Amino acid sequence: MGILWIVVIGFVAGLVARLVSPVPNKPAGFLLTTLLGIAGAFVATFLGQAVGWYRADQGAGFIAATLGALIVLFIWNRFAARLPNL
């Protein structure tokens, strides 16, 4: 049940990040949106633990996961802008 909860929160965080972000090149589809949210949660957890906001056994919440997804989306856009159109 924990994995399902991670996927649901990751999808919602990725969806919110895609709606809020002004970048033109956004990953589309359920799978990429979910991976965006999950990656954002990992980024937020890592940064939060590095700064001292979270203990080692804590994870990021929904808002932090959304902010992490925005960071991942920004990085995605930087790499996608440099790739040639195939």
Is residue 1's pLDDT more than 60? no
CA distances from 3 to 7, 15, 61, 82, 83 (A): 6, 18, 15, 34, 33
Residue % of the chain over a pLDDT of 70: 84
- Using only C-alpha atoms, the chain has a radius of gyration, in whole angstroms, of 13
Mean pLDDT, the chain, whole residue set: 79
Is residue 76's pLDDT more than 60? yes
pTM, two decimals, is 0.75
Between CA 14 and CA 6 the distance in angstroms is 12
